Structure 1
Amino acid sequence: MDLVVKVNAQSNLITNIEARRALLLNGTWQYIVDPYETGFYDYRYKELKESNTDAYWNSDVPVNKTDKKEHGYTDKNTLKVPGDWNHQKPEFLYYEGTIWYKKSFDFKPTGSGRYFLYFGAVNYRADVYLNGKKLGMHKGGFTPFNFEVPASLLKEKDNFLVVKVDNKRYADEVPTLNTDWWNYGGITRDVKLVELPQTFIQDYVIQLGKPQPGKAPARNPEVSGWLKLSDAKPGESLTITVPELKVKYQVVSTGAVTPINFKLINPVLWSPEHPKLYRVVVSSATDQVEDRIGFRTIETSGEQVLLNGKPIFMRGICIHGEIPQEVRRAHGTDDAKQLLLQAHELGCNMVRLAHYPHDEAMTRMTDSLGILVWSEIPVYWTINFGSQEVLDKAKAQLNEMITRDHNKASIIIWSVGNETPISQTRTDFMHNLITEAKHLDSSRMISAALEVNYAALKNENVVDDPLGEFVDLVAFNEYLGWYGGLPDQCRTTNWSTPYHKPLFISETGAEGKFGFHADSLTRFSEEFQEWYFKEQVAMFKRMPSNYVGVAPWVLNDFRSPKRNNPLYQEGWNRKGLYDDKGNKKKAFYIMQAYYKEMSKRVR
């Protein structure tokens, strides 16, 4: 059987970092604001040499009284990590540029192992230095990365870790200049110094292979995948155990990447109703790592989506990685719990994590709670589709997203983008990403949120984006009655697609400010938003037989510089079913009732 997930031999990302011995470097960091990037470039705008004492990655302590220092880190200027800088200081609310972070720490190595600095995410560009030496640079604001630290560079006392963080937007980055969400800057997720043996288990895929098309998984299904060791030599013994299922599988390594294949005896398959996770232990001669993995199959069969061989209907909601009541980027278990329990109260069995990979705490919790996930990279609106460099950046983020989470049972859809305008150049770009995603992971559905060809036929809207030929799930964003016309247009509108595939509504919504009450014709009132969803729900009930779910936009109101109505928006997108204080709007109850009905109809 083919491996369900292929290894990227060039990836150096270490997965399941939570299970590793590590020094957590979260907490208070000192900072320097550097809008002119004086600490990085000289006055000719050339990058400073590593040894230059004016560089902000070098010590700010004068050697003697004649030593000139024009930078300094102090406890008067501190920021919390993880966390965006925008919400921590009023003067940083709109700041886009460079801030230097510095953390001092002590560290005593326990043996002759290897050491890696791991970052859950930094938005957007991170240049990382330890004790004056550059470890590397990473671009991409929502995916993890790690750099190896030479053991000789570490000191028992007063290590000097500096990260240059730059969140400026550029036309040739991913995302590009124009987005509809807040550009939170900073070290927004965990930072860890990880200690590993010389040869260690870097990554692995332990998942069910695909069943025969349209058939339920076998009673004793087959696991396939691979183990990736760092600096492995052929002939090393590797072991996978699943104690609850009495599995002990041994294989001899064939090099850095070793294929695996074994059967599970009558496992409980993971599903929203029964989110069963098994303790899985992977061992080598020098290393051992534990994980909790759910086993399930996901596929499309004709015009349906099958989970464990049975049709499912996705009762979804879109979520931004933001905690609105504190106006900040979400991170960690408590934030994931808040957002996912809100979705659970709505009646969701699925979430679209938009428009970028969310904190890993989210996907760990969706595994535990039994919530299906659409995970997406920020190829958003109009990026530079003709640039190979931009394509490479998008592929890098796609690789990091899939690598981090390819053992998460809850993730059933990898999305390569949102609302990209149709042209041959764009279609080639997106098709390339779809091909890459399928190469990296053929066990899940690949999709993208497409735009709609409104009124292509009389009283019928046709989803006819050329990408429909290449995706597994035809997903589209529609705002019938908000962007153009009124909600009663839904009464005479039907939907179709020329692609004989499942059809999913990946966004729909209207703005309504909590507490603003008026008649249903008044924009931005709760009553208008309520009317919008009443008409939408009536339309959902007339959808064609290949309609497999919907994810309204959006769970909570969220910050956006594009939304500047001084009475109703004030810098907020008000399409949330919850407002920014956690209050439920009238529209919430319309979708909740619909989901309750659908949960009884589709099992």
Structure 2
Amino acid sequence: MTEQIQAFTRIRTTFSLQQADGVHIPFQNGIPVPSFDCQDRLKLDLGGAWRKQRFKADHDFSLSERDEHWFVQAVAEAEGRTEIGFDDSGWETIQLPFPENQIQGKEAAGSSETYEDGVWYRRHFELGMEWSGKAVTLHALSISYVADVWINGKWIGYHEGGFTPFALDLTPHIRIDDSNTIAIRVDNPPWGSRNDIIPAAAGTDFFNYTGIIHDLYISGSAPCHLSRVDIVPVDLRGNLRVTAIVENRSGSAVQAGLHGSIYEADQNSDAFLGSPYASQIKGEQASWNGELSAELTLGAGETKAAVFNICVENPHLWAFWQPNLYVAEFSLHAGGEGASDTFHTQFGIRTIETEGTNLLLNGRPIFLAGIARHEEWPDSGRTASWDKIRDDLLQMRDDLHVNYVRTAHYPNHVFTAVLLDRLGLAAASEIPLWQFVREQFEVQEEKRLSDQMWREMIFSQYNRPSVLMWSTQNESVEVELRTVYNKRLVEDLKTR
């Protein structure tokens, strides 16, 4: 086995940018990267009781390429755990999402079990007839650290990285009006044990939680649907560049009509701080100049981009403690009467620039008075909820009077930036590349997992005006390769 493992190449990254209609569209695991904003679509929350079994993981195997040799060994190692009829009645039960580490609920060092290794998770679920004919997608907001996913005995994909979200297409593998089985193999190598993981350093000053940390859910949409809508404020006059990504996951060509509207967000609604759904904070329709409609022809399995340039009249700018937001609403009509899909996202109009040593928000120099916040609680570790995040941020704003939050040292739950938008708090978001030395940068020059995490972070927070800065790393001591890496990511951001 050792010789076989040594013959494997390192695990490949799964994220790419593909050009279509003059736009770089993010793809991962064979589908365009979806927005992780909450949508009014069919949804099955996979939170709740799961079966779980720990195992001693072969980390070399977990981090090797998913080739023919890997699958042969994966089948042997699983010993039937991925199959529908496997008997997991002897396994422990765990309520997910939640760290695999045992947590005592104490605000003290050493109060959480330091488990860094493998664990299998399994559960059954049903999708009713309303899911028939839908494109079905698994959304995973955080699984630490390497996750391989099987549905009904079929391997559907994997992801490396414990702090960024990912999605997988379940459509060909699920059973409608019948029982389905999901099995997830998780391996979390100890920090400091190897140079090809992120973070890689021993003694990292945050905790290495194992398992299904954040929300895991299944969504159902029309086969031809909106994957994401990315909105960039061009200036303070209200000019916007709006890019709608439409995916046709069906096996037939489709004629689709796309129509959009812009609304002001209602800051007085109960949903403004009570719900992550952008559709629930729509207020009055805004006035804008320009076109937000298009007719598209998509071939089977094709993804297209529609780009619009519009100008919101008399825009209300987003600023510190002034959470002026808008909601973009799009409908997609395809293959019959009625809207086959709808999509909502919140966004803000603001600019961020530098002038000498000054950082300018909306053209004015700003002073950042803030704190660094770890996403962690005594009773749930890094597993977050809307209410917990909101209560933390309200305390920071109202009691500590901050205007800026550093989400150190890793991307937080996607709800965090949504709430920062709505509270008028600025943020810097960071990937967990921490105190890298030369050997670790050398690995990433080949592997490029850090580049993937960078893109995953940005595309999951794309429409958030609260995020003023994206951080590439923290406290790395290597200078030469750190500079090469930083320049590459800056170029990636500017040109793609």
Query: Normalising to structure 2: TM-score of the pair?
Result: 0.77
Structure number with bigger Rg: 1
2:165 counterpart (141, 144, 149): 144
1:292-336 residue CA offsets vs partner (Å, 9 max, x unmatched): 22221111123212212222111111011111x326114121221
DSSP-derived class of the 2:317 partner: coil
1:369 counterpart (402, 423, 428): 423
**2:455 maps to what in 1?**
399
CA contact (8 A) 1:82 1:189 kept: yes
CA contact (8 A) 2:154 2:173 kept: no
Using the TM superposition, give the Cα deviation of residue 234 of structure 1 relative to its aligned residue in structure 2, in angstroms.
9.3
Using the TM superposition, give the Cα deviation of residue 388 of structure 1 relative to its aligned residue in structure 2, in angstroms.
4.5
Matches within 5 A, 1:80-229: 80-88=95-103, 93-110=113-130, 111-151=132-172, 153-169=174-190, 170-178=194-202, 179-209=204-234, 211=235, 217-218=236-237, 221-229=238-246
1:245 counterpart (257, 277, 286): 286
**1:326 maps to what in 2?**
379
Q: Quote the Cα distance in structure 1 between the aligned partners of 2:90 and 2:464.
A: 40
DSSP-derived class of the 1:408 partner: coil
**2:89 maps to what in 1?**
74
DSSP-derived class of the 1:375 partner: strand
- Give the paired residue count: 413
Using the TM superposition, give the Cα deviation of residue 275 of structure 1 relative to its aligned residue in structure 2, in angstroms.
0.2
Inter-CA distance 238–99: structure 2 relative to 1 (3 Å threshold): same
**1:284 maps to what in 2?**
332
DSSP-derived class of the 1:341 partner: helix
**2:308 maps to what in 1?**
260
Identity %: 27
**1:599 maps to what in 2?**
none
Using the TM superposition, give the Cα deviation of residue 158 of structure 1 relative to its aligned residue in structure 2, in angstroms.
2.6
CA contact (8 A) 1:386 1:429 kept: no
The residue identity in structure 2 corresponding to 1:314 is L
Q: Give the superposed CA RMSD.
A: 2.8
CA contact (8 A) 1:395 1:436 kept: no
Matches within 5 A, 1:550-561: none
Identify unmatched segments of 5+ residues in structure 1: 62-71, 212-216, 441-603
Inter-CA distance 249–225: structure 2 relative to 1 (3 Å threshold): closer
Q: Quote the Cα distance in structure 1 between the aligned partners of 2:89 and 2:83.
A: 14
2:404 counterpart (320, 343, 350): 350
Query: Normalising to structure 1: TM-score of the pair?
Result: 0.64
CA contact (8 A) 1:200 1:230 kept: yes
Q: Quote the Cα distance in structure 1 between the aligned partners of 2:223 and 2:23.
A: 24
The residue identity in structure 2 corresponding to 1:334 is D
The residue identity in structure 1 corresponding to 2:363 is G
Using the TM superposition, give the Cα deviation of residue 97 of structure 1 relative to its aligned residue in structure 2, in angstroms.
0.6
1:393-431 residue CA offsets vs partner (Å, 9 max, x unmatched): 011111111111100111110110111114322321232
DSSP-derived class of the 1:437 partner: helix
Inter-CA distance 223–246: structure 2 relative to 1 (3 Å threshold): same
CA contact (8 A) 1:414 1:437 kept: no
Matches within 5 A, 1:318-467: 318-323=372-377, 325-326=378-379, 328-344=381-397, 345-383=399-437, 384-388=440-444, 392-440=448-496
Inter-CA distance 224–49: structure 2 relative to 1 (3 Å threshold): same
Using the TM superposition, give the Cα deviation of residue 378 of structure 1 relative to its aligned residue in structure 2, in angstroms.
1.1
Tell which has more relative contact order, 1 or 2 (C-alpha 8 A, sep 6+).
2
Q: Does 1:296 align with 2:316?
A: no
CA contact (8 A) 2:54 2:120 kept: yes
1:193-237 residue CA offsets vs partner (Å, 9 max, x unmatched): 11011111111212311x3xxxxx22xx21113111113979743
Structure with a larger share of its residues in strand: 2
Q: Quote the Cα distance in structure 2 between the aligned partners of 1:51 and 1:108.
A: 30
Q: Does 1:275 align with 2:323?
A: yes
CA contact (8 A) 2:317 2:350 kept: yes
**2:267 maps to what in 1?**
none
CA contact (8 A) 2:135 2:221 kept: yes
Q: Quote the Cα distance in structure 2 between the aligned partners of 1:135 and 1:358.
A: 26
Using the TM superposition, give the Cα deviation of residue 262 of structure 1 relative to its aligned residue in structure 2, in angstroms.
0.6
**1:545 maps to what in 2?**
none
Using the TM superposition, give the Cα deviation of residue 171 of structure 1 relative to its aligned residue in structure 2, in angstroms.
1.5
Q: Quote the Cα distance in structure 2 between the aligned partners of 1:37 and 1:59.
A: 24
